[in-house]
Chain A
Amino acid sequence: MLRYIFRRLLVAIPTLLLLIIICFLLMHAAPGGPFTSERKLPPSVLANIEAKYGLNQPLFVQLWDYLTGILLHFDFGPSFQYKDRDVNDVIATGFPVTLTYGTISFVLATVVGVALGVLAAVRHNTLLDYIAVGVTFSAQALPNFVMAPILVIIFTWQLGWLPGGGWNGGQWQYVVMPVIALSTSYMASIARITRSSMLETLHSNFIRTARAKGLPTRKILWRHALKPALMPVLSYLGPVFVAMITGSVIIDMYFSTGGIGLNYVNAAFNRDYAVMLGVTILYGALTVLFSLVVDVAYAWVDPKIRY
């Protein structure tokens, strides 16, 4: 198993490097630099600034500096937008917040989604199954940017139970709505995938064998059916994870949670390429890391995948 993980890590490294290079080049292929638009600066000032950030160097030198900065010092360079802050600093303030509600949402979507899916499959063709199918189907069409305003209307404006925004150090009242907004549609998707794969598993031959052994339903579900049924769900968790970190942009904007997504949007509007690049790479790295975790989980579920 360790060897398998090690091998997957080896493959992940070139992927990450390529990711950094692609993002870097894309950023620099942009028409106009960070200081060219909007505010008109005198040419001498502009040259000064560009020299300060190393933008006057040839592209590959910049790329090399950037790469070595990340690899040797874990330094993503200075921000273009905030004078005294560098990218590391920006990430260090926003990321913990995003990570907190992101993780909660992810766990919630997975656990509730799987539970709902299994329940619907076991009660196949009953009223409960039909309700679950109908609800999950519609809920899939409720992405975070739809959920956020709906939640605010209900819980803040109508009922007045929850604050409409802010973070407040992660007090639970402030976490509830971001988490629900972020997880609803993925919870529904996970439930649907779990249900159909569970149904398929329940029709397989080895389940029939387990029944022929006289095992009670509960045991058949837990010991025999759950693991194989989870396989398609596992491979879907990768995209879910990516979608959630992307969705955090909306959450930060709408609920003013102060997470990294807000920094990203601000950076985008202010053409702060350094922060955009840093955050993109951070999220890319998370994605790569997460697909590694999914692969390892896969090997754990399926003994045929060996290392």
Chain B
Amino acid sequence: MAVTQYSKSLEDTAERLTERLSQAEAIRGRSLWFDARVRFFGNKAAVGALVVLILVIAFVLIGPSFAVWSNEEIDWGRMGDIATAGRPSIETGHYFGLDDLGRDLYSRTIQATGTSLLVGLVGAFVAVVIGTLYGAVSGYVGGWVDGAMMRAVDILIAVPYMFIIILLMVMFDRSFYMLFIGIGATSWLAMSRIVRGQTLSLRHREFVEAAQAGGVGGFTIIIRHILPNLLGVVVVYATLLVPEMILVESFISFLGLGVQEPATSLGRLISEGAGTIAYGTIWQLLVPLTFFLLTIISLFFIGDGLRDALDPKDR
């Protein structure tokens, strides 16, 4: 009798709790990500920049279907007099004009913007993957391993990497892959330092200690407690790395050591445009420059907006 009563009361409790639970679960908490999203979309400059960037990407994707000329074709008829006949014009189909060899700048700009964005994304991706892994391991393992790994970064950071990239490009005959490798290799160093610093401070936070005291394994701690808290910093720096990678690639291309013709990049187009301003073909400089600035500035603003959103401080 007593036993049945006891189990009855247990059932009652369970029922009551289940009911309260279903009410409770209907309420969604605001995660830090949610707050960050609200803050980001409240930032007019960042949202504007995001719109601009989306437009640029859309142009790269949709633009080719409106092109009259391909990026390799030479318009022989207008080649002789580019300064006047090669002006940007809707009628001729050269919306952005011709370059000094008589090629369509519209198609070339689309192709160049695509290349630059790709280099930026891939370079940043390489940097994020290597840098995050390296930094997280170094910071979490600690001790002499950390010391050795960071010493290595100190030394590598002292190497003037732009020169190493130039070296690689010369040695490997301007291979596109070498460019990726070179750019990725320059950029993960700073990333790894940042991630390591963050990991180190997270490792000594009380919630990690609580997990350790609670018997949670080292791997689970990294996955469940360290990485999600690193993500904010990583996202912000990744966003800021993209324009930096584009800058590096453009620098290399400006020197004439980047991708090979007929493929091109914004840096290369700017270089060509800068070389021909004496002939009065100023659009050759202005068009790629506009796309370059739009992309870089909007990426800067997005990165900055993300930083404010994820790390709210009065700046």
Contact = CB atoms under 8 A, between A and B. Distances in A.
User: Touching in the complex, A and B, CB below 8 A?
Assistant: yes
Interface of A: 15, 18-19, 22-23, 26-27, 29-31, 137-138, 140-143, 145-146, 148-150, 152-153, 157, 195-196, 199-200, 203, 242, 245-246, 249-250, 253-254, 264-265, 268-269, 271, 276, 279-280, 283-284, 287-288, 291
A254 B274 CA distance: 9
Contacts of B274: 145, 148-149, 152, 254
A84 B163 CA distance: 25
A276 B167 contact: yes
B164 A26 contact: yes
B300 A141 contact: yes
A149 B277 contact: yes
B73 to A, nearest CB: 26
Nearest to A279: B163
B84 to A, nearest CB: 18
Contact of B167 (A19, A26, A249): A26
B257 A268 contact: yes
A249 B255 contact: yes
B208 interface: no
B309 to A, nearest CB: 15
Contacts of B313: 200
Contacts of B90: none
Interface in B143-176: 154-155, 158-160, 162-164, 166-167, 170-172
Interface of B: 154-155, 158-160, 162-164, 166-167, 170-172, 243, 247, 250-251, 254-255, 257, 267, 270-271, 273-274, 277-278, 282, 285, 289, 292-293, 296-297, 300-301, 304, 313-315
A48 B103 CA distance: 46
B112 to A, nearest CB: 14
Contacts of A195: 315
7 contacts: A15-B154, A19-B159, A27-B167, A138-B293, A141-B300, A250-B251, A276-B166
Contacts of A199: 314-315
B271 A245 contact: no
Most buried by A among B158, B164, B304: B158
Contacts of A271: 170
Contacts of A140: 300
Contacts of A149: 270, 273-274, 277, 285
Contacts, number: 108
A146 B289 contact: yes
B167 A141 contact: no
5 smallest beta-carbon distances between A and B, as pairs: A149-B274, A30-B171, A141-B296, A246-B162, A145-B254
A157 B300 contact: no
Most buried by A among B154, B160, B171, B257: B160
Nearest to B154: A15
A288 B158 CA distance: 6
A23 B314 CA distance: 44
A26 B154 CA distance: 19
A280 B163 contact: yes
A242 B186 CA distance: 13
A19 B171 CA distance: 19
Contacts of B297: 137-138, 141
A283 B155 contact: no
B163 A250 contact: no
A250 B255 contact: yes
A254 B278 CA distance: 13
Given A15-B155, A146-B289, A287 B160 contact: yes
Nearest to B251: A145
A121 B170 CA distance: 45
A75 to B, nearest CB: 20
Nearest to A288: B158
B160 A146 contact: no
Nearest to B304: A137
Nearest to B280: A157
A22 B247 CA distance: 25
Contacts of A27: 167
A264 B315 CA distance: 41
Given A137-B300, A242-B160, 17 more contacts: A15-B158, A19-B155, A19-B159, A30-B170, A137-B304, A142-B293, A145-B271, A148-B274, A152-B277, A196-B315, A200-B313, A249-B162, A254-B274, A276-B163, A280-B160, A284-B158, A287-B159
